[in-house]
Chain A
């Protein structure tokens, strides 16, 4: 009984110390990841409020795939698939067409195109850090078959 009380007391004393000393799960990102995260933040700031998470992910995805198609051998864009994806900017989160007047539509187009350009340019720059790994990762994603909505020509 005494031993049990002592061990309980010891646990209560040392547990907070052990928890406090456990390192936080952090990792210093590589330069390429830093670049990706920084441009992601810039894109999110620019699109703030106009597009939902799906739109943001889609525009960044298109920018990346366009950069792969522009710099990696064996990759081309499927224009129809690309347009199908990009045109999702005109839909709301439920997949229904947004109610937009002509001015709003132009504004939406410009912002989405701007975001696409930002993502494309950033990914070209990121690819320059390690071009062969950039293309290799894209090849694996394409052949893995686990990713839906890719717009590369098959």
Chain B
């Protein structure tokens, strides 16, 4: 959470900081009397760009991490008794699970019932 807040702050800073530098260059009063300020503006823009790039790199890294985490969550299916909500029983002793397209007879995988309940390809194979 802290990390994503830091990322948001970095991106916001990158967007905001160059704005005054840009404004100074186009400000008549500064242009007439303080030409040296333009160099400060360039430096500020450079720093801001740097921060922005770091922010983007960090955001990309965070996204990769999040994706990996999502995949791990997929592999973690079944933890915390999450299975069973899509259960149905087409016959005594037969239990089927729609999400995984698998059927079991007395707790053992059954080709016969899996095929009967989830035949998927009417064109040819008929598994």
| Contact surface of A with B, Cβ cutoff 8 Å | 24-30, 32-38, 40-42, 44-45, 52-54, 57-58, 61, 64, 88, 93-95, 123, 126, 130, 133-134, 136-137, 141, 144, 146-150
Given known A45-B71, A53-B101, contact A88–B125 (CB-CB < 8 A):
yes
| Contact surface of B with A, Cβ cutoff 8 Å | 71, 74-75, 77-78, 81, 83-85, 87-89, 95, 97, 99-102, 104-112, 114-115, 118, 120-121, 123-127
Given known A27-B95, A93-B121, contact A34–B110 (CB-CB < 8 A):
no
Residues of chain B contacted by A25 (CB below 8 angstroms): 87-89
State whether A57 touches B87 (Cβ < 8 A).
Answer: no
State whether A137 touches B120 (Cβ < 8 A).
Answer: no
CA distance A137 to B105 in the complex (A): 8
Residues of chain A contacted by B85 (CB below 8 angstroms): 24, 26
Instruction: Please give me the residue from chain B that is nearest to A142 by CB atom.
Output: B111
State whether A147 touches B112 (Cβ < 8 A).
Answer: yes
A49 to chain B, nearest CB (A): 14
State whether A34 touches B78 (Cβ < 8 A).
Answer: yes
Residues of chain A contacted by B115 (CB below 8 angstroms): 147-148
CA distance A141 to B105 in the complex (A): 11
CA distance A58 to B87 in the complex (A): 22
Q: Which of B87, B88, B124 is A94 in contact with, Cβ under 8 Å?
A: B124
Residues of chain A contacted by B101 (CB below 8 angstroms): 40, 53, 57
State whether A150 touches B78 (Cβ < 8 A).
Answer: no
CA distance A146 to B110 in the complex (A): 11
Residues of chain A contacted by B102 (CB below 8 angstroms): 36-37, 40
State whether A147 touches B120 (Cβ < 8 A).
Answer: no
Given known A58-B127, A94-B123, contact A32–B107 (CB-CB < 8 A):
yes
Q: Which of B95, B104, B121 is A53 in contact with, Cβ under 8 Å?
A: B121
State whether A28 touches B121 (Cβ < 8 A).
Answer: no
State whether B107 touches A33 (Cβ < 8 A).
Answer: yes
A148 to chain B, nearest CB (A): 6
A144 to chain B, nearest CB (A): 7
Q: Residue among B77, B78, B120, B124 with the most chain A CB within 10 A?
A: B78
Residues of chain B contacted by A42 (CB below 8 angstroms): 74-75, 77
Residues of chain A contacted by B105 (CB below 8 angstroms): 137
